[in-house]
């Protein structure tokens, strides 16, 4: 019975050492993978900046831009009417 227990303990130690070796071997590979991802992200960022700089600022407004312009104009008109009403109510 003691021999069986000793074999089980040795097998468990062997599995733990194999797992530790596997984890230690994965560290450089994971580091290299992260480095490659960072390099790819840098080139994507640089390419996106180039594309954004090439956008023509004289493009016609889209429907959302027209709606925002109308909203700003209506807000400015309402503020102006409110200021005029305050001026009229003052003695």
pLDDT, tens digit, for every residue of 51-91?
999 988 887 777 778 888 889 999 999 999 888 887 777 66
CB 32 within 8 A of CB 40: no
pLDDT digits (tens, 9 = 90+) for 7-65: 565 566 677 777 777 777 778 888 899 999 999 999 999 999 999 999 888 877 777 78
pTM, rounded to two decimals: 0.45
As given in the structure block, the two tokens for residue 55 are 């956008």
Strand, helix or coil for residue 50: helix
Distance CA 61, CA 91 (A): 45
Spatial distance between the Cα atoms of 42 and 35, rounded to a whole number of angstroms: 11
């Amino acid at each position: 019975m003691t021999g069986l227990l000793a074999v089980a303990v040795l097998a468990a130690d062997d599995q733990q050492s194999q797992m530790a070796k596997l984890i230690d071997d994965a560290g450089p590979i994971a580091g290299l993978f992260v480095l490659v991802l960072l390099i790819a992200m840098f080139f994507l960022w640089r390419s996106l900046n180039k594309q954004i700089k090439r956008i023509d600022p004289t493009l016609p407004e889209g429907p959302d831009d027209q709606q925002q312009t109308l909203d700003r104009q209506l807000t400015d008109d309402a503020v102006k009417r409110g200021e005029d009403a305050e001026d009229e109510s003052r003695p």
